[in-house]
């Protein structure tokens, strides 16, 4: 697999996980790089390599907002990742 396709696949999996985690209970879905990496069954280094750590950390702070703001944060998240 080329690096670009690996990045795209990882991006898709990450966004799927973040969408579920944002609506779930914080105790069940920790939004830190190590926890997300474990959930995706990849190395945390891989998330840093592709710059996804910023996205994960941004979503962690968004979790405390209300539901309408979560919707806009998902749009912003997808925009940041180029989707």
Percent of the chain with pLDDT over 70: 69
- What pLDDT, on the 0 to 100 scale, is given for residue 80? 58
Number of structural domains in the chain: 1
List pLDDT tens digits, range 15-40.
999 888 888 877 788 889 999 999 99
CA contacts within 13 A on the Cβ side of 62:
24
Pick left, alpha or beta for residue 8 (phi over 0 → left; psi -120 to 50 → alpha; otherwise beta): alpha
Q: How would you class 59 by CB atoms within 10 Å of its CB: exposed for 0-12, middle for 13-18, buried for 19 or more? A: buried
Give mean pLDDT, residues 51-72.
65
Is pLDDT larger for residue 67 or for residue 83?
83
Matching residue, tokens 């396709």: 5
Query: What range does the domain containing 46 cover?
Result: 3-80
Question: What pLDDT was estimated at residue 57?
Answer: 83
CA distance 12 to 6: 10
* Whole-prediction pTM: 0.67
């Amino acid at each position: 697999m080329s690096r670009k396709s690996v990045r795209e696949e990882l991006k898709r999996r990450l966004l799927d996980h973040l969408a579920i985690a944002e609506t779930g209970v914080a105790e069940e879905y920790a939004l830190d790089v190590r926890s997300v990496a474990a959930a995706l069954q990849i190395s945390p280094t891989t998330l840093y390599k592709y710059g996804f750590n910023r996205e994960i950390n941004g979503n962690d702070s968004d979790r405390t907002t209300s539901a309408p703001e979560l919707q806009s944060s998902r749009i912003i998240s997808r925009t940041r990742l180029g989707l």
